[in-house]
Amino acid sequence: MSSIFTKIINGELPAYKIVEDDQFLAFLDINPNAKGHTLCIPKKEINKIFDMEEEDYVALMRFSRKVAKALEKAVPCKRIGMSVVGLEVPHVHVHLIPLQEMDDIRFTRKTSLSVEEFEELVKSIQSYL
Ligand code: 5GP
């Protein structure tokens, strides 16, 4: 069965998509740790990041870096934190999280955003890509 994220890639589930190419997609996390929390995923469904082919892994890091730089301009923060967990969704994803404090990267505290805030974030991040 396809992962939730494969369904997002295929347009079967909605998402606030930021940017994609033939290999990767960046979209906003629906239950963000902090405003601007973004996920970067490979379109090829694979469970664990270190099982990726080396060149695909490096390409995912390159894609994530580009998105992180735009995110840092769009969302005021001290820096962009990066994390890979995957305990909830078994489809590789890099978390990019605008950080103000350590709690923002701990996945214990969530923030809720309105549809308008999600849409505004997408536009703002895209404007810096
Ligand atoms: P992890 O697998 O790294 O523990 O976390 C999965 C992440 O995916 C969580 O931050 C969660 O909020 C996010 N997530 C789970 N389902 C969806 C979804 O349907 N849409 C979006 N945009 N994010 C999701």
Can you give the pLDDT at residue 71?
98
112-to-13, 23, 33, 37, 116 alpha-carbon distances in Å: 20, 29, 9, 11, 12
Residue 74, SS3?
helix
Can you give the pLDDT at residue 1?
79
Can you give the pLDDT at residue 127?
98
% of the chain residues with pLDDT over 90: 98
| Across 103-128, average pLDDT | 97
Ligand 1 mean position, distance from CA 112 (Å):
14
φ, ψ of residue 88 to 5 degrees: the values are -95, -45
Spatial contact of 35 and 113, defined as CB atoms under 8 Å apart: yes
Give me 94's structure tokens: 């890099």
Check whether 63 has a pLDDT greater than 90. yes
Is 37 an active-site residue? no
The residues lining ligand 1, judged by C-beta closer than 6 Å to any ligand atom, are 4, 13, 15, 27, 29-31, 85-89, 93
CATH superfamily for 4-126 is HIT-like (3.30.428.10)
Can you give the pLDDT at residue 70?
98
Alpha carbon distance, N-terminus to C-terminus of the chain: 33
Listed by start position, the domains of the chain span: 4-126
Q: What angle do CA 86, 91, 95 make, to 5 degrees?
A: 50
Provide CB contacts within 8 A for 88, sequence distance 6+: none
Question: What is d(CA 30, CA 49) in angstroms, rounded to the nearest whole number?
Answer: 21
Check whether 126 has a pLDDT greater than 90. yes
Spatial contact of 71 and 98, defined as CB atoms under 8 Å apart: yes
Ligand 1 mean position, distance from CA 76 (Å):
23
Q: What is the pLDDT of residues 9-50, one digit of tens each?
A: 999 999 999 999 999 999 999 999 999 999 999 999 999 999
Ligand 1 mean position, distance from CA 86 (Å):
9
Question: What is d(CA 47, CA 38) in angstroms, rounded to the nearest whole number?
Answer: 18
